[in-house]
Structure 1
Amino acid sequence: MDVAELYTIPYKSLENGEHTLEFRFDDSLFAAYENTDIRHAQGRVGVTLLRSASMLELKVSIRGSVVVACDRCLDDCTVPVEFDGTLVVKFSDEVSDYDGEVMWLSPSAGSVDLTQYVYESILLSLPYQRVHPDGECDPEMLGRFRIVTGEEFDRLEQQAGSQGGAMRGLADLRRRMEESHGGENEE
């Protein structure tokens, strides 16, 4: 089955008024868009459709979760999905481009495909930084990362001054950091 069939509403047979529909989303939605960032997905899409002669108003509620790589430890991280939005579908013989909020369809169309809207809404609902809650990251992976303290940086800078060569780059880096931060030292 084509993934678009799962998110298509055949509105032509619906009478004017309010209608409630529900869909499930899963990995197949993200596979259709060849999205490799989403490792697993599951949830529901609730749609309240208000049909009139000239347009459709769809209030969409998406709830579920996706699994992505944690930005901190790279292990699988489950991120909740919560989205509420409204999509207006207008009918016109002059069909315009879909802009994320308004979709234009020919009056002869019999269904509206919400696949792209659902896909984009889920992605836009995800936080910019996707990390485990504090204390839940993979400790082995975190142990591989080491943050250099200001004191260690100063010591490395002094060594760079005396050793020359590639180590001198640390002193240049420190100078550039101080210049870009107005001379303040961030730790």
Structure 2
Amino acid sequence: MKKFVIFSVVFLSLILAPILFTILSPVILFSKDNVIREFEKNFNTRLPKSTVSEKIYDDYGGFHNDGMKLYKFVFTAEGKKSFVSYIQKQKSWKNLPLSQAYQALIYGGEVKDFSGNITGFGGFAKEVGLPKISKGFWKAIGDRSVVTARFIDYENLDTKTLINLKSFDFYLAIYDTEKGVLYMLKVNT
């Protein structure tokens, strides 16, 4: 009888372990901590301890991983001070307002090319719920997981390059100094 119980427990464990792993792995893989790690890896910036992330918008899961997502990171009072101190020392973080290219791309607007032709952009902010931020810092980078994005200088995107792009694959971080909130927008079209 003991051998049967031991055999049954081992047999059920071998069957239930993969099933439980399959069910629980999305919860583990897509936890809030992974969003913080994604930000830190892509922006090469450590976020303060006890940072809390909140999903505002996420429509990924479609064709070839296209989509947009917007996350908000909230810090403690101590975390705000250390984060602002850190990014002020970094040359890659810029003071707001956004560049002309990103202003048109994110909030909408028109851009003239070298021939005087005007191209309009609708802006991603309205679709994802990114508020208009006037005081703070920003940084943009290409999505390194997309091969074609490696050939575009998203950190210094200008209007000439913007007009010629057929798709967008970038991350944009904006820190709102008035509210002490950091936003991360990821766009893949």
TM-score normalized by structure 2? 0.26
Report which of the two has the higher share of strand: 1
Report which of the two has the higher share of helix: 2
Higher relative contact order (CA 8 A, sep 6+): 2
Larger Rg: 1
